[in-house]
Amino acid sequence: MGLKIAVAGKGGSGKTTVSVLLARVLSNNGGKVLLVDLDSDPNLGPALGLPAGGASPLVTRKDLIAERTGSTGEPGGMFILNPKVADILGKYSLKVSDAVSLLPVGTIETAGEGCFCPQTAFVRALLGRLVLSKDESVILDLEAGLEAFGRSAVEGLDLLLIVIEAGMRSVDTARRILGMAPAMGIRNVRVVANKVRPGRLAFLKEKLRAEGIPIDIVLPYSDELARRDLEGRPVLDYADAGFEREAEAVLGNL
């Protein structure tokens, strides 16, 4: 059985990088992986080696949203709450390799609490009814929080990974997400400490332990990762033995 995993955390903390490296771990272990880009500034594609700007996020395709929800685009207009989405994966996912594919969805712009628009209906239907093949896992690369996606994103979630950087601002975000998780019925939440510089791990661990936040996976700061981003090179083939070992342990213990 494949897993449903969501990756959350502060902007720039490394959600996309961690999503891709996790896909690598799952595929190395013989699984198939669908990566779902739920970011308004989609960069999973380039991180997977697909051309930048290659596929526009589904929520920005006005014709598709109109076709599926019957929306005219008029604010406050009528639309179908439960649109047909069964064929979306087959039509719009992009193949990265035999084991990995990408669905560029984009994010729902919430104009305020309780905003429910045609895009929301579309994304919720899509996430709620992803039909995956046997042994195919799904990794949701989220924007900041989980709120916008509601139950559709978290329903049946096997694991929520929160990415933090060695800085207290990203820990604030992690604390907020951790606080929300139980009410959303998320059973397993684990923390990834990213961009950790040599000699800083012990301090970070100590500081977080005092708050009751254990670090489960560490991805050290890597000049190679930074350079790949600068040069627009993919990270799917980037190997970090410690990350892979710890990620496998987390996945194995779910």
Ligand X SMILES: Nc1ncnc2c1ncn2[C@@H]1O[C@H](COP(=O)(O)OP(=O)(O)OP(=O)(O)O)[C@@H](O)[C@H]1O
d(CA 241, CA 107): 32
Nearest residue to 152 via CA among 177, 187, 131, 126: 126
Asked if residues 136 and 31 have their Cβ atoms less than 8 Å apart, the reply is yes
In terms of phi and psi (left: phi > 0; alpha: psi -120 to 50; beta: otherwise), the region of 199 is: left
Footprint on residues 174-203 left by ligand X (CB under 6 A): 194-195
In the block, residue with structure tokens 């039909």: 131
Footprint on residues 17-76 left by ligand X (CB under 6 A): 17, 39, 41, 43
Residues 6+ apart with CB under 8 A from 199: none
d(CA 240, CA 41): 26
Chosen from ligand X, Mg ion, none, partner binding at 11 (C-beta under 5 to 8 Å by type) = ligand X
In the complex, what is the shortest distance from the CB of residue 134 to Mg ion, in angstroms, rounded to a whole number? 29
Q: Applying CB under 6 A, does 12 fall inside the site for ligand X?
A: yes
Q: Applying CB under 6 A, does 16 fall inside the site for ligand X?
A: yes
Asked if residues 20 and 44 have their Cβ atoms less than 8 Å apart, the reply is yes
Q: Applying CB under 6 A, does 14 fall inside the site for ligand X?
A: yes
Identity of the residue, 42 or 118, whose beta carbon is nearer to Mg ion in the bound complex: 42
Q: Applying CB under 6 A, does 13 fall inside the site for ligand X?
A: yes
In the complex, what is the shortest distance from the CB of residue 143 to Mg ion, in angstroms, rounded to a whole number? 8
In the complex, what is the shortest distance from the CB of residue 240 to ligand X, in angstroms, rounded to a whole number? 8
Give contact residues for ligand X (rule: CB under 6 A): 9, 11-17, 39, 41, 43, 194-195, 219, 221-222, 225-226, 229
